[in-house]
Amino acid sequence: MVREPSQRDRRQPAGMAAPATTARANVNLALVKYWGKRDQALNLPATGSISLTLDALPRGVGLASSAAAFAALALAASRAAGFALDPPALSALARRGSGSAARSIFGGFVEWRRGERADGRDSVAEALAPPGFWDVRVVVAVTSSAPKAVSSRAGMERAATSPFYPAWVAGAEADLAQARAAIRARDLEALGLLAEHSALKMHAVGMAARPPLLYWRGATVDCLDRVWKLRAEGTPAFATIDAGPQVKVLCTPDDARRVAEALRAVPGVERVLTCAPGGGAEVMA
């Protein structure tokens, strides 16, 4: 959760202190990834994406923390400026700070539409299912707390040089349709396999870029391997990786402890955190 103080209220007469507005928003984990833009300046995505908003996480572990910051900022700043924006308008505003922030306006399972318009007005997120719809867990294995060497913005620019980038874009609609269906059916295996596939495709695009881009460390690969062994042993657990070396694992609440213990035992894992579905951005005061 990230809190952002607002700007001063523009409606206040000069010289009068404006009341502060504070808003908070949660991070979100992309299950179908956003990786590539159709417009750099407006942060318009080349494809749609689907995420799960998470209940609580410390900043800076590679879980799109800028998403929480910009979602909270969009809400606090617009309120302080005297605007009561509806959720789609807030989502479009948050998107300008960081693309994935468009999704953190909403809680639970969220889809951010690619949109077709050049001005991006139709590229906003919407709620697919509220946090209480499906009680899952995300276990995060932190393999490095160091800031990432290549920002997601720079990484996406590089992705466009990859020969695999057109295939990545072409496959997005099918991935989105499968993810929506899996969420509707609360089918963990279908959603987990799809999320793993989306993440590995995203990283394959980067590996084949020029210059190449690889966010993983040795422990990242070892965590992936451990997740696959957990599955072979009968525990439904599914990995995803963002623009960093951390591994995030989708599983049931009942299996979260077992998954966390398995990941904690992987050499190179610094710490392990467990998150549940979380709510959307809200004003605190």
- Dig out the tokens for 143 from the structure: 């393999």
Q: In the complex, what is the shortest distance from the CB of residue 98 to ligand PMV, in angstroms, rounded to a whole number? A: 4
> Nearer Cβ to ligand PMV, position 80 or 159?
159
Instruction: Tell me the Ramachandran region of residue 227: left when phi exceeds 0, alpha when psi lies from -120 to 50, beta otherwise.
Output: alpha
> Nearer Cβ to ligand PMV, position 113 or 230?
113
Q: In the complex, what is the shortest distance from the CB of residue 51 to ligand PMV, in angstroms, rounded to a whole number? A: 6
> Nearer Cβ to ligand PMV, position 33 or 226?
33
> Nearer Cβ to ligand PMV, position 75 or 80?
75
Q: In the complex, what is the shortest distance from the CB of residue 168 to ligand PMV, in angstroms, rounded to a whole number? A: 12
> Nearer Cβ to ligand PMV, position 49 or 53?
49
E strand residue ranges, the chain: 2-5, 22-25, 28-32, 37-39, 44-45, 49-53, 109-112, 125-129, 137-142, 238-240, 247-251, 271-275, 282-283
Rounded to the nearest 10°, the torsion over CA 75, 81, 87, 93 is: -80
- Dig out the tokens for 146 from the structure: 């160091």
> 22-25 and 2-5: which strand pairing?
antiparallel
Residue 253's CB: how many other CB atoms inside 10 A? 11
Q: In the complex, what is the shortest distance from the CB of residue 14 to ligand PMV, in angstroms, rounded to a whole number? A: 37
Q: In the complex, what is the shortest distance from the CB of residue 257 to ligand PMV, in angstroms, rounded to a whole number? A: 26
Q: In the complex, what is the shortest distance from the CB of residue 128 to ligand PMV, in angstroms, rounded to a whole number? A: 15
> Nearer Cβ to ligand PMV, position 100 or 220?
100
Residues contributing to the site for ligand PMV (CB under 6 A): 30, 33-35, 49, 64, 66-67, 98-100, 152-153, 242-243
Instruction: Tell me the Ramachandran region of residue 239: left when phi exceeds 0, alpha when psi lies from -120 to 50, beta otherwise.
Output: beta
Largest CA distance in the chain: 67
Which residues make beta-bridge pairs with 140?
248, 273
